[in-house]
Amino acid sequence: MVSATNLGFPYVGAKRELKKLVESFWSGKISEADLLSGAHQLQETHWKVQQEQGIAQIPSGDFTFYDRMLDTACNFGIAPQRYQHIQNPLEQYFAMARGLQKSATATSEKVDVPAMEMKKWFDTNYHFIVPEFEPTQKFELKTARVVEQFKRAKALGINTRPVVVGPVSFLHLGKPAKGVEEFNTLDLLPKVLPAYVELFKQLEAAGADWIQVDEPILVLDLESSVKLAFEKAYKTLSGATQLKTLLTTYFGRIDNNVFIVKDLVDGIHLDLARNPEQLEAVLPLLNDKQILSLGLVDGRNIWKNDLNKSLDLAEKAVAVLGSERVLVAPSCSLAHSPYSTAFEKKIKSENPELFSWLSYSVEKCAEVATIAKALNGGRASVQAELNANAADLESRRTSKQTTNPAVRERVAAVPAQDYKRANAFPHRREAQVKKLNLPLYPTTTIGSFPQTKDIRVARQKYTKGELSQADYDIFIKEEMKRVVEFQEKVGLDVLVHGEPERNDMVEHFGHLLHGYGFTENGWVVSYGSRCVKPPVIYGDVSRRCPMTIDEIVYAQSLTKKPMKGMLTGPVTMMKWSFIRNDIPAKDLCTQIALALRDEVVDLETAGIPCIQVDEPAIREGLPLRRQDWDAYLDWSVGCFRLSTAGVRDETQIHTHMCYSDFNDIFDAIQALDADVITIENSKSDEKLLKIFERKQYTNEIGPGLYDIHSPRVPSVEEMKTRFADMLKYLPKHLLWANPDCGLKSRGWPEVEAALINMVEVAKHFREQD
Ligand code: GLN
Ligand code: ZN
């Protein structure tokens, strides 16, 4: 029989119960015992929900209080030195996760430790805690949460499949501890394996028969040393117990890492939602006992599965392997998609058609079960489900909400010259110098000014209908006026309106565009207890109306200095949303780019001389495999250019990025051809500036002069040193002075002090000239 299985469930809970639990624990409102019993209840609920949906092999050990990589480190007793004095294991765990500050008491000393580093989990929006290892690291199995969870499920009569992070991914994704010399963390493999063997033995003794071992790095380009590590690891593990290993890969294709299949494990899971073509490649490589888990239902989005299409693929696998050796599953852990559409009451009543296209984790479990059922009993045995599914998909395919012929025609007919400014940068620069008449080292900011409590309260009242549109507009105008007057007083050269009307740089524009929807409960964990609720792009995108003209024109009317229009770029608008899967990402991005292009041109027509299009997400959109980078950069850079190239020479296009990791994508950054780029820089060393020098970046550039993540006010001296460094590498006529990023999370007093100092630095260097 084909079994329905799952790789992981949204542990945060239907209504983010886990977030509430841990946050109450952190603030001392509930005890450790309450936290544990709350967590147990949640786990029980989640196991039962999966069971009710028809999942036969349910995972355990996927539940975490903060992060599974951190759990793995703690299970093996790996706490970096600086946390070792914290006695209580749970307190130590949370200290590693989020730092800990405690003043001294009669019985204990003061504690002040920062959190460990967090990194993006592959190409998702989830961030994991990066484990730290010492060359002499000892690994010793402590109480393993996975064993405890497995036993508790068993006591409830649910025979789960325990899930662990595999040893090779665990070591490879970690890093040398602070203060120790560089070394290859994979060298620790012989030391970590005995601890894993011990863990496997405990699970075996507890009654497990299969274990799921997540090795997601298998979808990356790996050096041969990593491949050798895999061979060694899985030879050791498979010989150590009778447990059967299901090795899971997800988020991409296994490709040249397919060696792992050869007799090293008892089963393998493939992401067939992203890369269905892998099936053909892997099928012939399996030996006659190995099983294959088909990741058919996309765990990364919110759309209903095409059940018939999944069945077509699954039937191929069953034909080769027989039904005993096939599992049906979501493509990856469902922790990356929201809990259940049952809570989307608003969409259901206001846009029932859109509702009928949605499927969150609970519904995805049911889809998995339906596919398995159809494979076992024939499609006719689930005919009603298949018919309903086909009807929903057909409605999506043909709906006016998804397809706007005018948008499609425009995308299909974009002339090549629309991707290019009319003239090259040197020519444009002449026109801009004449028009803007800026001093050497012009000063500017990245866009947002403090989002004060007053602003948040006013917005809340407005959304609830307690503040009228007219009163809200007056409020926003007053905020803009205050920001413009402030910038005049401080002496900045290119001003901004301060973004008081925006709650968020993507959602705000989503409301002004056709094709975007908003969920009530579409939360997914971003890190720890923090969740995000991305907008949903379900239809062809076009502007509902001009999006920023009123605000920017008003702000410009208050000053003679140039005002900078402020937009979010096409790639970021897409990357930070749940995107539709019925058209290629490139086409979707082009639609957004065209909508933005109209806005950019309208801003120019309205007399706005500078326009900034933020693209902080371009880098994080890079595909997991190098081989795919060029194609991605080609269209993403193209979309940025399409959105900005409609203006005259004298209109100055800015862009902004919040990172400085440009090494491998420098050419793409240059290819954006923005007249000015502002980037985060204050925390990076001179490496960044060296690249711009070495590669002879040709356009204007503002590397951030100070870090905006901290309330600390940078001194004039400190910023002078930084600016002097920049002058070593960059031609002075191209250099701007600005902070690292927007100021929305800062308070007014520090913003004022910091910007006064920054302007003084620019003036100082102008006088030197
Ligand atoms: N213009 C935005 C701001 O200043 C940019 C935010 C960002 O780069 N993430 O807030
Ligand atoms: Zn930024």
Distance 746 CA to ligand 2 centre (A): 13
pLDDT digits (tens, 9 = 90+) for 360-391: 999 999 999 999 999 999 999 999 999 999 99
Which atom from ligand 1 is nearest to the alpha carbon of 656? 8
Q: How confident is the model at residue 507 (pLDDT cuts 50, 70, 90)?
A: very high
Tell me what pLDDT residue 102 has.
84
Length of the chain: 769
CA–CA separation, 622 and 637 (whole Å): 12
The ligand placed nearest to the CA atom of residue 702 is 2
Helix count (H) and strand count (E) of the chain? 28, 23
Pocket test for ligand 1, best of 741, 744, 746 (most atoms within 8 A of CB): 741
ipTM: 0.99
Which atom from ligand 1 is nearest to the alpha carbon of 502? 10
The first and second tokens of residue 283, run together, are: 């099928």
Residue 81 identity: Q
Tell me what pLDDT residue 143 has.
80
Query: Ligand 1, atom 10: nearest CA belongs to which residue?
Result: 742
Residue 567 identity: L
Q: Which residues are CB-neighbours of 669 under 8 A, at least 6 positions away? A: 657, 662, 677, 697
What is the b/e burial string over 520-552, where b = at least 16 CB atoms within 10 angstroms of the residue's CB? ebbbbbbbbbebebbbbbbbbbbbeeebbbebb
Give catalytic status of residue 172 as yes or no.
no
Which atom from ligand 1 is nearest to the alpha carbon of 744? 10
User: For residue 561, which of 486, 644, 449 has the smallest C-alpha distance?
Assistant: 486
Ligand 1 pocket, Cβ-based, cut-off 6 angstroms: 446-448, 505, 566, 614, 616, 656, 658, 741-742, 744
Tell me what pLDDT residue 144 has.
86
Query: Would you give the end-to-end CA distance of the chain in angstroms?
Result: 80
pLDDT digits (tens, 9 = 90+) for 311-333: 999 999 999 999 999 999 999 99
On the question of pLDDT at 658 being above 90, the answer is no
On the question of pLDDT at 736 being above 90, the answer is yes
On the question of pLDDT at 103 being above 90, the answer is no
Burial class (CB in 10 A: 0-12, 13-18, 19+), 413: exposed
The single residue of 427, 511, 709, 733 carrying the catalytic annotation is: 709
- Torsion angle, alpha carbons of 553, 554, 560, 565, to 10: -40
Which region holds residue 262: left if phi is over 0, alpha if psi is between -120 and 50, else beta? Answer: beta
Distance 702 CA to ligand 1 centre (A): 14
Q: pLDDT: is 688 or 635 the higher one?
A: 635
Distance 705 CA to ligand 2 centre (A): 13
Tell me what pLDDT residue 709 has.
86
Question: What 8-state DSSP symbol labels residue 743?
Answer: -
The ligand placed nearest to the CA atom of residue 613 is 1
Distance 663 CA to ligand 2 centre (A): 18
pLDDT digits (tens, 9 = 90+) for 671-708: 999 999 999 988 776 778 888 888 899 999 999 999 99
The first and second tokens of residue 427, run together, are: 């020519």
Pocket test for ligand 1, best of 125, 448, 564, 657 (most atoms within 8 A of CB): 448
- The phi, psi pair for 514, rounded to 5°, reads -70, 150
The ligand placed nearest to the CA atom of residue 742 is 1
Mean pLDDT of the chain: 96
Which atom from ligand 1 is nearest to the alpha carbon of 616? 8
CA–CA separation, 387 and 752 (whole Å): 62
For residue 163, what are the β-bridge partners? 212
- Torsion angle, alpha carbons of 64, 65, 71, 74, to 10: -150
Sign of torsion, CA 261 267 269 275?
Answer: positive
CA–CA separation, 67 and 211 (whole Å): 19
Which run of H or of E encompasses 465? none
Distance 742 CA to ligand 2 centre (A): 6
Q: How confident is the model at residue 579 (pLDDT cuts 50, 70, 90)?
A: very high
Distance 364 CA to ligand 2 centre (A): 35
| Percent of the residues in the chain that have a pLDDT greater than 70, as a whole number | 100
**Strand segments (E) across 76-123:** 100-102, 111-113, 118-120
Which residue, chain included where needed, has tokens 């140039």? 562
On the question of pLDDT at 660 being above 80, the answer is no
Distance 766 CA to ligand 1 centre (A): 27
Residue 584's SS3 state is: coil
Pocket test for ligand 1, best of 551, 552, 571, 614 (most atoms within 8 A of CB): 614
Question: What 8-state DSSP symbol labels residue 386?
Answer: H
Which atom from ligand 1 is nearest to the alpha carbon of 657? 8
Query: Ligand 1, atom 5: nearest CA belongs to which residue?
Result: 742
Q: pTM for the full model?
A: 0.96
pLDDT digits (tens, 9 = 90+) for 14-63: 999 999 999 999 999 999 999 999 999 999 999 999 999 999 999 999 99
The ligand placed nearest to the CA atom of residue 612 is 1
